[in-house]
Amino acid sequence: MRVETALSIAGLAVALALGSAAVSLLAARFPKVVRFAAMPLTGLCGVAAIVAGLGALLSGGVATATLPLGLPWLPWHVRLDALAGFFLLLIGLVTSAVGLYGPAYVRGLEQGRDSLVALGGFTGLFLAGMLLVVLADDAFLFMIAWEVMSLASYFLVAFQHEQAANRRAAFLYLLMAHIGGLSILLGFGVLASFGDGFAFASMRAAELSPVWASVAFGLVFIGFGMKAGLVPLHAWLPEAHPAAPSYISALMSGVMLKVAVYGFIRLVFDLIGDVQWTWGMAVLAIGSLSALTGALFALMQTDLKRLLAYSSVENLGIVFIALGLALIFIDTGHPLPGALAFVAALYHALNHALFKGLLFLGAGSILHSTHERDLEQMGGLLRRMPWTGFFFLIGCLSIAALPPFNGFVSEWLTFQAALQAWQLDSGVMRSLIPIATAVLALTGALVAATFVKVYGIAFLGQARSRHVRRARPGPWGIRAGQGLLAVLCVLLGLFPTLVIGLIDAVPRQLLGGGLPDAGSQGWLWLVPDAFETASYSAPLVTVLLIAIAVLVVWGLHHVGVRRVRRCDAWDCGFAPPTARMQYTATAFAQPVRRVFALLFRVEETQVPREDGGMRHQIKIVDRSWDALYLPLARLVEAAARRVVRLQSGNVRVYLGWTLVTLLVLLWIVSA
Amino acid sequence: MADILTPSAWLLAVVQALLFPALAPLLVGWVRKVKARLQNRRGASVLQPYRELRKLLFKEARVAHTASPLFRAAPSVVFVATWLAAATVPLLTIDLPTAVVADIIVLAGLLALARVFLALAGMDVGTAFGGMGASREMMISALAEPAMLMAVFTLAMTAHSTNLGSVIAHHLGDAFVLRPSYLFAFAGLTLVALAETGRIPVDNPTTHLELTMVHEAMVLEYSGRHLALMEWAAQIKLLLYGVLVANIFFPWGIATDPAPLSLAIGLGAILLKLAVLGAALAVAETVLAKMRLFRVPAFLNLALLLALLGLLSHVILEVGA
Q: What angle do CA A276, A282, A283 make, to 5 degrees?
A: 90
**Which residue type is seen at A167?**
R
A380 vs B contacts (CB less than 8 Å): 66, 68, 126
Average pLDDT, chain A: 90
- What's the pLDDT at A400? 95
**Which residue type is seen at A344?**
A
- Mean pLDDT over residues A98-112, rounded? 86
Q: Please state, as a whole number, how many other Cβ atoms lie within 10 Å of the Cβ of residue B65.
A: 9
B58 vs A contacts (CB less than 8 Å): 560-561
- Mean pLDDT over residues A458-473, rounded? 90
Phi, psi for B73 (deg, rounded to 5): -80, -30
Q: Output the CA torsion A558→A560→A565→A568 (10° steps).
A: -130
Provide long-range contacts, Cβ within 8 A and 24+ apart, for B230-233.
Answer: B230/B75, B230/B78, B230/B79, B230/B118, B231/B52, B231/B53, B231/B56, B232/B21, B232/B24, B232/B25, B232/B53, B232/B79, B233/B75, B233/B78, B233/B79, B233/B82, B233/B83, B233/B114
> How far apart, in whole angstroms, are the C-alpha atoms of residue B255 and residue B251?
9
Short-list B115, B121, B117, CA closest to B138 = B115
Whether the predicted interface score ipTM is above 0.90: yes
Percent with pLDDT over 90 in chain A: 59
Give tens-digit pLDDT for A647-656: 778 899 889 9
The region that residue B93 occupies, defined by phi over 0 for left and psi between -120 and 50 for alpha, beta otherwise, is beta
Q: CB–CB of A231/A294 below 8 Å?
A: yes
DSSP of B18-29, one letter per residue? HHHHHHHHHHHH
Q: Highest mean pLDDT range out of A56-70, A405-419, B196-210?
A: A405-419
Is the minimum CB–CB distance between A583 and chain B shorter than 8 Å?
yes
A33: part of which helix (H) or strand (E)? helix A32-33
pLDDT grade, residue B175 (50/70/90)?
A: low
Alpha helices (H) along chain B: 7-38, 48-57, 69-87, 97-101, 104-124, 128-159, 164-173, 180-196, 215-218, 224-249, 260-287, 296-313
Instruction: Give how far A443 is from chain B: nearest CA, Å.
Output: 8
Residues with Cβ within 8 Å of residue A214, at least 6 apart in sequence: A276, A278, A279
A493: part of which helix (H) or strand (E)? helix A476-494
Q: From the centroid of its chain, how far is CA A134?
A: 16
Determine whether the interchain pair A460/B124 forms a contact, defined as Cβ–Cβ distance below 8 Å. yes
> How far apart, in whole angstroms, are the C-alpha atoms of residue A215 and residue A432?
24
Determine whether the interchain pair A531/B130 forms a contact, defined as Cβ–Cβ distance below 8 Å. no
| Residue-level length of chain B | 321
DSSP of A73-123, one letter per residue? TEEEEEEE-HHHHHHHHHHHHHHHHHHHHHHHHHHTTTTSSS-HHHHHHHH
Residues with Cβ within 8 Å of residue B292, at least 6 apart in sequence: none
Average pLDDT, chain B: 89
- Helix orientation angle between A257-265 and A335-370, rounded to the nearest 10 degrees: 160
Residues with Cβ within 8 Å of residue A658, at least 6 apart in sequence: none
The closest CB to that of B112, out of A402, A535, A544, belongs to A402
- What's the pLDDT at B1? 47
Determine whether the interchain pair B66/A380 forms a contact, defined as Cβ–Cβ distance below 8 Å. yes
Query: What does pTM read for this prediction?
Result: 0.94
Question: Does the structure show a pLDDT above 90 at A338?
Answer: yes
Q: CB–CB of A417/A330 below 8 Å?
A: no
Determine whether the interchain pair A537/B131 forms a contact, defined as Cβ–Cβ distance below 8 Å. no
- Mean pLDDT over residues B74-100, rounded? 91
pLDDT grade, residue A259 (50/70/90)?
A: very high
- What's the pLDDT at A57? 93
Among chain B residues, CA nearest to A438: B146
Short-list B179, B320, B169, B316, CA closest to B247 = B169
> How far apart, in whole angstroms, are the C-alpha atoms of residue B123 and residue A455?
9
- What's the pLDDT at B215? 86
Cis ω for the linkage preceding A232 (within 30 of 0): yes
- What's the pLDDT at A648? 79
Cα within 13 Å of Cα(B311), Cβ side: 35
DSSP of A505-536, one letter per residue? HHHHHHTS---TTTTTT-TT-B-SS-TTT--B
Determine whether the interchain pair B135/A591 forms a contact, defined as Cβ–Cβ distance below 8 Å. yes
> How far apart, in whole angstroms, are the C-alpha atoms of residue A312 and residue B166?
36
> How far apart, in whole angstroms, are the C-alpha atoms of residue A330 and residue A87?
22
Percent with pLDDT over 70 in chain B: 95
Give the burial class of A661: count Cβ atoms within 10 A of its Cβ; 0-12 exposed, 13-18 middle, 19 or more buried. exposed
Give the burial class of A635: count Cβ atoms within 10 A of its Cβ; 0-12 exposed, 13-18 middle, 19 or more buried. exposed
Cα within 13 Å of Cα(B296), Cβ side: 30
- Mean pLDDT over residues A28-39, rounded? 88
Question: Does the structure show a pLDDT above 70 at B160?
Answer: yes
Q: CB–CB of A342/A326 below 8 Å?
A: yes
Q: CB–CB of A538/B113 below 8 Å?
A: no
Question: Does the structure show a pLDDT above 90 at B128?
Answer: no
Q: CB–CB of A523/A495 below 8 Å?
A: yes
Phi, psi for A75 (deg, rounded to 5): -70, 155
Question: Does the structure show a pLDDT above 70 at B210?
Answer: no
Give the burial class of A165: count Cβ atoms within 10 A of its Cβ; 0-12 exposed, 13-18 middle, 19 or more buried. exposed
The closest CB to that of A533, out of B141, B160, B319, belongs to B160
Cis ω for the linkage preceding A576 (within 30 of 0): no
Q: How far is CA B30 from CA B82, B249, B267, in A?
A: 21, 22, 17
- What's the pLDDT at B321? 46
pLDDT grade, residue A357 (50/70/90)?
A: very high
Give tens-digit pLDDT for A608-618: 888 888 888 88
Among chain B residues, CA nearest to A524: B101
Q: How far is CA B290 from CA A212, A466, A534, B213, in A?
A: 59, 42, 39, 10
Determine whether the interchain pair B112/A448 forms a contact, defined as Cβ–Cβ distance below 8 Å. yes
Q: Highest mean pLDDT range out of A23-27, A52-56, A569-573?
A: A52-56
- Mean pLDDT over residues A341-368, rounded? 95
Short-list B30, B23, B70, CA closest to B243 = B23
Is the model more confident about A198 or about A185? A185
Determine whether the interchain pair B128/A577 forms a contact, defined as Cβ–Cβ distance below 8 Å. yes
Determine whether the interchain pair B120/A452 forms a contact, defined as Cβ–Cβ distance below 8 Å. yes
Q: Which of A53-67, A110-124, B165-179 has the lowest mean pLDDT?
A: B165-179
A614: part of which helix (H) or strand (E)? strand A614-622
Scanning A430-469 for CB atoms below 8 A from B yields 430-431, 434-435, 437-439, 441-442, 444-446, 448-449, 451-453, 455-457, 459-462
Q: Output the CA torsion B127→B132→B137→B140 (10° steps).
A: 170
Q: From the centroid of its chain, how far is CA A423?
A: 32
Instruction: Give how far B276 is from chain A: nearest CA, Å.
Output: 31
DSSP of A126-138, one letter per residue? HHHHHHHHHHB-B
| Residue-level length of chain A | 671
- DSSP structural state of residue B290: P
A324: part of which helix (H) or strand (E)? helix A304-331
Question: Does the structure show a pLDDT above 90 at A474?
Answer: no
**Which residue type is seen at A268?**
V
> How far apart, in whole angstroms, are the C-alpha atoms of residue A308 and residue A363?
9
Q: Please state, as a whole number, how many other Cβ atoms lie within 10 Å of the Cβ of residue B78.
A: 29
- Mean pLDDT over residues B189-210, rounded? 85
- What's the pLDDT at A353? 96
Is the minimum CB–CB distance between A561 and chain B shorter than 8 Å?
yes
Q: CB–CB of A452/A298 below 8 Å?
A: no
- What's the pLDDT at A330? 93
B72 vs A contacts (CB less than 8 Å): 564
The closest CB to that of A402, out of B57, B109, B228, belongs to B109
> How far apart, in whole angstroms, are the C-alpha atoms of residue B93 and residue B259?
10
Q: CB–CB of A303/A376 below 8 Å?
A: no
Short-list A103, A7, A120, CA closest to A56 = A7
pLDDT grade, residue B3 (50/70/90)?
A: low
Q: Which of A288-292, A394-398, B207-211, B213-217 has the lowest mean pLDDT?
A: B207-211
Q: Output the CA torsion B114→B120→B125→B126 (10° steps).
A: 150
Determine whether the interchain pair B149/A438 forms a contact, defined as Cβ–Cβ distance below 8 Å. yes
Percent with pLDDT over 70 in chain A: 99
Give tens-digit pLDDT for A520-563: 677 788 887 777 778 888 888 999 999 999 999 898 888 877 78
Is the minimum CB–CB distance between A198 and chain B shorter than 8 Å?
no
Determine whether the interchain pair B103/A525 forms a contact, defined as Cβ–Cβ distance below 8 Å. no
Q: Please state, as a whole number, how many other Cβ atoms lie within 10 Å of the Cβ of residue B210.
A: 14
Is the model more confident about A84 or about A232? A84
Phi, psi for A264 (deg, rounded to 5): -60, -45
